[in-house]
A and B are shown apart, each in its own frame.
Chain A
Amino acid sequence: MVDLNPFSAWERFLGLPNESRTKTVGMAFIVAIVCAVAVNGATVILRPIQAQNRAAEQQVRLEALVSSIPGMGDLIAKAGGDALSAVVIDLDTGQAATDVTPETLDAALQAEANWTTLAPEADTANIGSRPNYAQVYILRQDDDVSLAILPIGGAGYNGPIQAMLAVNGDMNTIAGIAIIEQSETPGLGARIEEPGWQADFAGTRVRDDSGTMRFSVARGPAASEYEVDGITGATRTSNAMTQIVRFWMGPNGYGPFIDAVQRGDF
């Protein structure tokens, strides 16, 4: 006669000696299931708040970046409230994406088909794979692009670095940079967050007249118009910043977009 009452079955289970195989396996399952439910519950319930935090953070950094660029405040005031327009571009063609909008970008990037795996030798920013679409912010003046804000990112010393790079209409002179996310060594690499260091980006050129990539974070003070002051004691972070800017301004990053803007057909 098998007793099917779940309560007495539970009692019998708890009454088993701790060393029995049934109890060992049973306890393992119960603990695992309870923990899995708790962890998943917390993640799912809190995700909207976390996403909001991230979006708000990005907005704050973007506004700070825009207001730190000399003359930008005036430009925007002249052009009206919605002067900066968010555009999703197709990184391969360099043109505005036809089927992805800023609202659907997150959903599109969930799909693996919208990512390009980079060959190790091309992957100078150490990101592994690159999204095919990116949301950039563009300021137009008399139909010409006068400023573009490009999200860039790559591997730093301790973790990923995400930044927004503002580039003038010539698509070669940097107007400013804002670090969105970093986990570098506090007091050393983390100084990339300091406005004093970031201010040095303004006016720095990325390529020389022949089109060769020259940008770098110097070791020590900047020696040319293609260099930004280095950070003492943070060589790896400085090198990472060099590689990140070079990658995203290069052919595998925003290269096609930069060409399109320079040709004047964006």
Chain B
Amino acid sequence: MAASGRIWNTLTEPLIRQNPVTLQVLGICSALAVTTSLDIALTMAVSLTVVIVLSAGFVSLIRRHIPDAIRLIVQIIIVASLVIIIDQFLQAYLFDISQRLSVFVSLITTNCLVLGRTESFARSNPPLPSMVDALGNGLGYSLILIIIGAVRELFGMGSLLGISVLPTIDEGGWYTPLSLMLLAPSAFFLLGGLVWAIRSVQSEQVEVAEFDPIDDAEERR
């Protein structure tokens, strides 16, 4: 019972409390790049979750035999190979989406999140907990991607999953699409807002300020 409780904990912890994107600030680059619309964000989220779970599994399987000197190279090779295979599958069976994701699938390789989990968790834990931990982190990442993707698509194009929700002026409706939402900076704003919202609720996530602004310091005197 205790073991299954721990596994459940490993899985749910990274969803909000230890979210890899908003708390650890990993995997930001792809959160900015592939969230222009919800379906792209979903595909990216699924691909990343599959890659992170499989690579955590493989790395964990051979964890006792990875020489320290080349451990990062071994991990990256495993991750990169999985990414190429996933990319090939997308090109074969989800051609439309793979065309729109283009280079970003290959960029999963360099996603700090994947290497972060294999290096910090899978390398020192048995396969099952490693894969559960990876799944939890993948889902936490997916959650953020889906939220940002949905907001950006809704306000940038007035639609969700390609279905028109706010009829745009081009289509004869009333909504003027916010082009800023389709550009990378908007994801930064949204991500910042999300981090703020989560930390207002979960105040233990707030980091201790590294230094006081000068004004504050003088007032306190």
Whether a CB of chain A sits under 8 angstroms from the CB of B67 is yes
Closest residue of chain B to A46 (Cβ to Cβ) is B92
Instruction: Count chain B residues whose beta carbon lies closer than 8 angstroms to a beta carbon of A.
Output: 35
Q: Tell whether, in the assembled complex, residue A186 and residue B182 are in contact, meaning their CB atoms are under 8 Å apart.
A: yes
Q: Enumerate chain A residues within 8 angstroms of B70, measured Cβ to Cβ.
A: 24, 27-28
Proximity string of chain B (130-166) to chain A, C-beta cutoff 8 Å, 1 when within and 0 when not: 0000000000000000000000000011000000000
B179: interface (CB < 8 Å): yes
* Interface-centre pick from B69, B88, B102, B177 (highest chain A CB count, 10 A): B88
Residue A50 lies at the interface, judged by CB distance under 8 Å to chain B: yes
In the complex, whether A14 has a CB less than 8 A from a CB of chain B is: yes
SS class, residues of chain B in contact with chain A: helix
Q: Mark B158-199, 1 if CB is under 8 A from A, else 0.
A: 000000000000100000010100110000000000000000
Give CA–CA (A233, B179) in the complex, Å.
9
| Inter-chain contacts of A54 with B (CB < 8 A) | 95
Distance in angstroms from B165 CB to nearest chain A CB is 16
Assess the B179–A181 pair: CB atoms within 8 A: no
Q: Is the CB–CB distance between B103 and A159 below 8 Å?
A: yes
Complex alpha-carbon distance, A40 and B170, angstroms? 46
Contacts of A27 in B (CB 8 A): 62, 65-67, 70, 74
Which residue of B95, B100, B170 is within 8 Å of A57 (Cβ)?
A: B95
**Are the CB atoms of B37 and A42 closer together than 8 Å?**
no
- A46 partner, pick from B64, B77, B91, beta carbons under 8 A: B91
B78-86, B109-117, B205-213: which one contacts chain A? Answer: B78-86
In the assembled complex, A43 has its CB within 8 A of some CB on chain B = yes
In the complex, B89 has a CB within 8 A of chain A: yes
Q: Does A93 contact B (CB under 8 A)?
A: no
Flag if A28 contacts B73 (CB, 8 Å).
yes
Residue A38, interface by CB 8 Å: yes
Collect the chain A residues with CB atoms within 8 Å of residue B103's CB: 159, 183
Q: A35-B77, A186-B37, A187-B156 are in contact. Are A42 and B179 (CB under 8 A)?
A: no
| A18, B67: Cβ atoms closer than 8 Å | yes
Are the CB atoms of A38 and B88 closer together than 8 Å? Answer: no
Residue from A32, A38, A57, A187 having most chain B Cβ neighbours under 10 A = A187
B99 touches A181 (CB 8 A): yes
Q: Say yes or no: A38 contacts B81, CB within 8 Å.
A: yes
The residue that A19 contacts in the complex, of B68, B74, B156, B182, with Cβ under 8 A, is: B68
Asked whether A39 and B74 contact (CB < 8 A) given A18-B66, A53-B92, the answer is: no
B37 / chain A contacts, CB cutoff of 8 Å:
186
Contacts of A23 in B (CB 8 A): 65, 67
Residues of B within 8 A of A35 (CB): 77-78, 80-81
Judge whether A114 is part of the interface by a CB distance below 8 angstroms: no
Tell me whether B43 is interfacial, beta carbon within 8 Å.
Answer: no
- Proximity bits, A2-24, B CB within 8 Å = 1, else 0: 00000000000010001100011
A119 located at the interface, meaning its Cβ lies under 8 Å from any Cβ of chain B in the complex: no
Distance from A252 Cβ to chain B, minimum over Cβ atoms (Å)? 28
Whether A39 contacts B92 in the complex (CB less than 8 A), given A27-B66, A186-B182, A188-B179, comes out as no
How far, in whole Å, are A119 and B102 apart by their CA atoms in the complex? Answer: 29
B36 within 8 A of A: yes
Distance of A35 from chain B, by nearest CB (Å): 4
The listed residue with most B CB atoms (<10 A of its CB), out of A14, A53, A181, is A53
Chain A residues closer than 8 Å to B74, beta-carbon distance: 27-28, 31
Q: How far is the CA of A181 from the CA of B36 in the complex (A)?
A: 19
Chain B residues, Cβ within 8 Å of A18: 64-68
Please state if B84 and A24 are interface contacts (CB–CB under 8 Å). no
A67 within 8 A of B: no
Interface centre among B69, B92, B157 (most CB of A within 10 A): B92
Which residue of the partner chain, among A24, A42, A158, A188, contacts B85 with CB atoms under 8 Å? A42
Whether A39 and B89, one on each chain, are in contact in the complex, defined by CB atoms closer than 8 angstroms, is: no
> Are B92 and A49 in contact, with the CB atoms below 8 A?
yes
Closest to A35 in B: B81
Given A183-B103, A233-B179, 14 additional A-B pairs, CB 8 A:
A18-B65, A18-B66, A19-B67, A27-B62, A28-B73, A31-B74, A46-B89, A50-B95, A53-B92, A54-B95, A57-B95, A183-B99, A185-B182, A188-B183
> Could you show 7 A-B contacts with beta carbons less than 8 Å apart?
A18-B68, A38-B81, A39-B81, A42-B88, A42-B89, A183-B99, A188-B179
Chain A to chain B: the 8 pairs with minimum beta-carbon distance, closest first = A187-B182, A35-B81, A24-B67, A49-B92, A53-B95, A46-B92, A186-B36, A42-B85
